[in-house]
Structures are given as structure tokens and as C-alpha cells.
């Protein structure tokens, strides 16, 4: 393949990936606790090529890579910065102040998940759950409120029934956020094989409030437009390169 086509295709794939990520960010702009993804790109080095990774001793491989600049590696990372805090006046809504702190949630398969979304509710058994029915965990597991009296959550994480403590939220601090992978829209789990320091901390919460998505709708729409135009530019460049190659082949054939 022509080296210009390699570089153009690499940028085209990056813009296509950016379109997917930005669209997902925009779709979750109203999702409590959602953390946006950001696309990172860097220029491929020879050590990252197949020729190097497979240990091939082709003397021309390194020079081929040097003659094909502009190939990009792309990967998505999660931005864990704190989103805007919205007052809801719902006694079962709480927002976490600290970027590294998370609620502890029990996944559908029993796995431990971590979330910033404090839009809690009660299930039919008067247990505290997430908006989609996952158990919110306290020191002894799922939190049973007893279903009697007015249930609310205090800034220190205590679960109150008519101002009497009936349970407490577990909040943990995770030192290395890069070890977390996304599960659904607003939950995370630790990468397999990773071992960040996870420490239970005293909750520092904002009651009757929610931390909303850290997504700017205006900036995301601008990113969407930029990525769309970038992908259009890639297709035009690829067509131009193809036309030049066809012209060169035609002229070469005519000269023989």
C-alpha cells in the first residue's frame, strides 16, 4: 500500500473512533456520575510495528517504517474529573466531593463495582439500590433500611430513618484511577491483574444532590463537528492518492 494511504487511513480511523467516543459522551450528558472518555493519539514507533513485535530480521523493515511517517496509535482514557453538582432535594441523592472516592456497588454477577452515581432508591425489600437495581454496599453488604419512617443519607454516609442511623454507605478511595475499566454507563471495576491501593475512607458527601456527567455539551458538539470534518478530509485525501496512483500506472503503461 502507498505510504500516503497508510498515513491517511490512520488519521481516518482516529477520526472515526473520535466520532464514536464523542457521540457516547453526548448521549450521557445527563447521566449522573458519568465520566467522559478522551481519545489519545501518538505516532507509531518502529518498536510497535508487527515486524518488530514478531522479531523479524528483515533489514528493510526499519527503513520502511521510517519512510511511512504519520501512522497513529489511538486509545481511549477516562477523565475522572469531578462533574457539576446539581441540587435535587431528593433525600436519597448524594454527591461525592473527592475525585478519587467512589461508592461501592454489587454487580449483577456479585462482582465489586465502583461508581460516582449517587442517584439511589429503595427496592421492594427497602434495600438501598442504584437507579438500575444494583445493591449499594455498606460495611455488612447490602443496606437494609427497614422501610419505616423517612429515609435519608447524611453527609458522612449514615443512612437515617427518621434521624435514627440504620446503616452506612461504604466509600473507598482508589489511588490509581488508570487501573479502572468502564462497566456500563457509570460503574467501573479494576482491570484484571491490576492492584491499585483501595482504602475505605470517611465519606465526604453533598446531601440532596447529584454529581452530573463531566461532559460539556457545547465542547462535545464542537469535537463532533471537528471529527466529522476530519473524516471527510481523510476520504478526500484517500481518493486523491488513489487517482494519482491510477494516473501514474496509466502513464507508466503508455510509456512501454
pLDDT in tens, 72-111: 567 789 999 999 999 999 999 999 999 999 999 999 899 9
Predicted structure pTM score = 0.76
**Same-domain check for residues 44 and 120:** no
Q: How many domains does the chain have?
A: 2
d(CA 170, CA 156): 10
For residue 95, give the nearest of 252, 237, 205 by alpha carbon: 205
pLDDT (tens digit per residue) in 116-143: 999 999 999 999 999 999 999 998 899 9
Who wins on pLDDT, 214 or 42?
Answer: 214
**Same-domain check for residues 221 and 203:** no
The mean pLDDT value of the chain amounts to 83
pLDDT at 208: 97
Q: Please, how many CA atoms are within 13 Å of residue 160, restricted to the half-sphere of its CB?
A: 14
Cα 58 to Cα 42, 62, 165: the distances in Å are 25, 8, 71
**Same-domain check for residues 96 and 207:** yes
Length of the chain in terms of residues written: 256
pLDDT at 171: 97
d(CA 148, CA 137): 20
**Structural domain range at position 95:** 85-211
**Same-domain check for residues 226 and 171:** no
Give phi and psi for 6, each to the nearest 5: -55, -50
pLDDT at 8 over 80: no
Percent of the chain topping pLDDT 90: 55
d(CA 81, CA 204): 16
**Same-domain check for residues 39 and 125:** no
d(CA 154, CA 133): 21
d(CA 131, CA 134): 8
**Same-domain check for residues 182 and 243:** no
Q: In this structure, are residues 31 and 40 in contact, taking their beta carbons and an 8 Å threshold?
A: no
**Same-domain check for residues 138 and 190:** yes
**Same-domain check for residues 219 and 102:** no
d(CA 204, CA 96): 6
pLDDT at 163: 87
Strands 205-207 and 128-129 come out as: unpaired
**Same-domain check for residues 167 and 89:** yes
Sign of CA dihedral 145, 88, 132, 187: negative
Q: In this structure, are residues 57 and 118 in contact, taking their beta carbons and an 8 Å threshold?
A: no
**Same-domain check for residues 29 and 91:** no
d(CA 169, CA 96): 12
Lowest-confidence segment of 6-10, 51-55, 128-132, 236-240 by average pLDDT: 51-55
**Same-domain check for residues 141 and 232:** no
Q: Which stretches does DSSP call E strand in 44-145?
A: 72-78, 85-87, 94-96, 101-106, 112-115, 121-122, 128-129, 135-138, 141-142
What nine digits make up the cell of 62?
526499519
**Same-domain check for residues 169 and 188:** yes
Overall average pLDDT of the 203-227 stretch:
90
Amino acid at each position: 500500500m502507498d505510504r500516503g494511504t497508510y498515513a491517511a487511513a490512520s488519521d481516518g480511523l482516529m477520526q472515526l473512533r473520535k466520532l464514536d467516543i464523542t457521540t457516547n459522551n453526548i448521549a450521557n450528558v445527563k447521566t449522573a456520575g458519568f465520566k467522559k472518555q478522551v481519545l489519545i493519539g501518538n505516532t507509531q514507533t518502529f518498536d510497535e510495528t508487527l515486524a518488530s513485535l514478531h522479531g523479524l530480521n528483515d533489514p528493510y523493515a526499519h527503513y520502511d517504517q521510517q519512510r511511512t511517517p504519520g501512522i497513529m496509535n489511538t486509545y481511549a482514557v477516562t477523565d475522572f474529573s469531578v462533574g457539576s453538582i446539581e441540587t435535587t432535594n431528593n433525600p436519597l441523592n448524594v454527591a461525592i466531593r473527592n475525585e478519587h472516592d467512589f461508592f461501592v456497588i454489587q454487580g449483577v454477577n456479585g462482582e465489586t463495582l465502583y461508581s460516582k452515581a449517587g442517584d439511589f432508591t429503595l427496592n421492594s425489600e427497602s434495600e438501598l439500590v442504584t437507579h438500575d437495581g444494583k445493591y449499594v454496599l455498606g460495611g455488612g453488604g447490602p443496606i437494609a433500611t427497614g422501610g419505616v419512617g423517612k429515609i435519608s443519607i447524611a453527609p458522612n454516609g449514615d443512612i437515617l430513618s427518621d434521624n435514627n442511623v440504620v446503616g452506612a454507605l461504604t466509600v473507598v478511595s482508589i489511588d490509581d484511577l488508570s487501573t479502572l475499566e468502564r462497566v456500563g454507563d457509570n460503574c467501573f471495576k479494576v482491570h484484571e491483574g491490576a492492584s491499585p491501593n483501595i482504602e475505605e475512607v470517611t465519606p465526604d458527601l453533598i446531601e440532596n444532590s447529584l454529581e452530573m456527567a463531566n461532559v460539556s455539551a457545547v465542547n462535545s458538539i464542537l469535537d463532533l463537528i471537528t471529527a466529522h470534518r476530519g473524516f471527510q478530509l481523510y476520504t478526500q485525501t484517500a481518493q486523491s492518492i488513489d487517482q494519482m496512483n491510477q494516473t501514474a500506472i496509466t502513464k507508466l503503461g503508455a510509456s512501454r
